[in-house]
Every structure is written in structure tokens, then in C-alpha cells.
């Protein structure tokens, strides 16, 4: 099939398929007229790449999955290299979730403290600009 057919079938663009070729994820096969030609198995590779990208994998992280499919496995994650990428990705996600959870907890704590200060001081001004500044009124009277 030609590049346009593959792009349409996989729900991507021809430009993206060319980029996958540049990155070594798709083979650059040409017919006698110089048109790109793809096999049915290339559609499976592109679908695997797109599925991985949708869940946050980079193209570099997708390479072992593509290589696994190319070597004849039914699934891109049937090879040890793919499993290793899963493990690294999961560890990175866990670290990111922990960092975001800590940030959320800190913001929640600061919000609670700010609300407590505000409720405890409703009669008092909430910032320096609304506070009565005795020096300011003295200065204004001197003008």
C-alpha cells in the first residue's frame, strides 16, 4: 500500500509516517517509480506506535516494541526489552505521581492556612493596601 493509504488506515498523517521512517521505526521501501510502499505488517507497527504515544511513550521508548513485532512476535510487549521499557515508564510515572501528590498536599495545606487566617481576621484588613495607615493620613493632611 502507498503512504496515503497507510496514513488513512491508521488515522495519522503522511508527514508522521515519514518521520517514523526517519526515526527508524518504519522501513523506507520504494517501488520502481520511487513511491513509498508498505506491507500489512507496517500498519500493525504504526498502530503500536500510536497506541504507545497515546499513553505517553516517546518514539525512543516505542522502538523495542516495534523491534519485537518485526521479529515476528504477535505482541510488541512479548520481548524482554519491551518489558524493561514498561518497568522504567512505570517507575517514572510513579515518581511523577508522588511529586504531584506532594505538591497538591502542599497547596491544600497553604490554602487551609490562608482560609483560617482570613476567617480568624474578618474584622481586620486582608492586605496592606486596605489597611488604615495612620502615617498616610498624616502625610495627606500636610499636603
What's the pLDDT score for residue 118? Answer: 86
Q: Which domains does the chain have, with CATH numbers?
A: 3-120 (1.10.1660.10)
DSSP state for residue 110 in the 8-state scheme: H
Q: Give the residue, 135 or 17, on which the prediction is more confident.
A: 17
Helix runs in the chain, H state only = 3-10, 14-22, 40-54, 59-70, 80-120, 134-142
Overall average pLDDT of the 65-85 stretch = 96
Say yes or no to pLDDT of 127 above 80: no
Q: Give the residue, 27 or 142, on which the prediction is more confident.
A: 27
C-alpha cell at 94: 510513579
Say yes or no to pLDDT of 41 above 70: yes
DSSP state for residue 74 in the 8-state scheme: S
pLDDT band at 105; cut points 50, 70, 90: very high
Amino acid at each position: 500500500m502507498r503512504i496515503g493509504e497507510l496514513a488513512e488506515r491508521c488515522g495519522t498523517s503522511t508527514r508522521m509516517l515519514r518521520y517514523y521512517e526517519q526515526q527508524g521505526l518504519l522501513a523506507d521501501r520504494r517501488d520502481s517509480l520511487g513511491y513509498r510502499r508498505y506491507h500489512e505488517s507496517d500498519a500493525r507497527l504504526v498502530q503500536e506506535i500510536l497506541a504507545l504515544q497515546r499513553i505517553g511513550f516517546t518514539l525512543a521508548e516505542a522502538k523495542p516494541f516495534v523491534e519485537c513485532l518485526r521479529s515476528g512476535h504477535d505482541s510488541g510487549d512479548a520481548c524482554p526489552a519491551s518489558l524493561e521499557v514498561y518497568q522504567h515508564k512505570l517507575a517514572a510515572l510513579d515518581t511523577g505521581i508522588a511529586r504531584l501528590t506532594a505538591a497538591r498536599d502542599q497547596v491544600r495545606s497553604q490554602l487551609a492556612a490562608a482560609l483560617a487566617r482570613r476567617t480568624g481576621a474578618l474584622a481586620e484588613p486582608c492586605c496592606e493596601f486596605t489597611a488604615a495607615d495612620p502615617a498616610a493620613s498624616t502625610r495627606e493632611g500636610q499636603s
